[in-house]
């Protein structure tokens, strides 16, 4: 991928939103300085607001919430291999227990984790404010890119194209 793009502010937030909507699930990493992989877990994004903040539901007493209280620095890794879309987001996380915000972001799917619904005493939100983000987008789908790679190997010319760049938020 040789085309590089820097996505700034509104365009950056739009790019962030579109990639997250496309991918939705990320590997959410806490304890960045000492992480041995045990503090990485898959999490589904609930929302990306107009300021670029990324929202998740979480149990108040979960390990990840405790880890965020100790060190708010997090990394989010998004990957959609079928579309050739990837992104890493670095940011600061904060635990939010505001009931109005919980109600605003609530969806029936969240009920799978919180049996008492919106008023479950275990419900909290995690808001991640991105400090940096970088993306890789390959043009075409997985099958097309496989064929392009095969042709590239056969001819010695790279036919796989795409964009990558920093997202400014």
CATH, residue 131: 2.30.110.10
Here the contacts of 1-4 (C-beta below 8 Å, separation 24 or greater) are 1/136, 1/138, 1/160, 1/161, 1/162, 1/163, 1/164, 2/161, 3/161, 3/162, 3/163, 3/164, 4/163, 4/164, 4/165
Banded pLDDT at 140 (limits 50, 70, 90): low
Mean pLDDT, residues 128-140:
85
Any alpha helices (H) in 30-98, and if so which ranges? Answer: 63-70
pTM for the full model?
Answer: 0.82
Extract the tokens encoding 14: 């739009």
Where in the sequence is the domain holding 11, given as residue range(s)?
Answer: 3-167
Count of the separate structural domains present in the chain: 1
Please give the pLDDT value at position 166: 84
Banded pLDDT at 11 (limits 50, 70, 90): confident
The DSSP line for 108-151 is GGGGGT-TTGGG-TTEEEEEEEEEEEEEEEESS-HHHHHHHHHH
pLDDT tens digit sequence for 82-102: 777 889 999 999 999 999 999
């Amino acid at each position: 991928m040789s085309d590089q793009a820097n996505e700034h502010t509104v365009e950056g937030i739009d790019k962030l939103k579109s990639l997250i909507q496309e991918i939705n699930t990320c590997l959410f990493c806490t304890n960045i300085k000492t992480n041995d992989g045990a503090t990485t877990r898959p999490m589904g994004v609930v929302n990306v607001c107009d300021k670029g903040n990324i929202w998740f539901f979480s149990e108040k007493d979960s390990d990840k919430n405790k880890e965020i209280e100790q060190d708010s620095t997090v990394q989010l890794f998004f990957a959609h291999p079928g579309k050739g879309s990837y992104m890493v987001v670095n940011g600061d996380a904060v635990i939010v227990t505001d009931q109005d915000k919980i109600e605003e972001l609530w969806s029936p799917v969240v009920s799978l984790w919180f049996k008492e619904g919106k008023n479950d005493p275990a419900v909290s939100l995690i808001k991640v404010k991105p400090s940096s983000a970088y993306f890789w987008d390959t043009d075409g789908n997985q099958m097309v890119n496989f064929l392009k790679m095969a042709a590239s190997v056969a001819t010695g010319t790279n036919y796989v194209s795409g964009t990558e760049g920093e997202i400014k938020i």
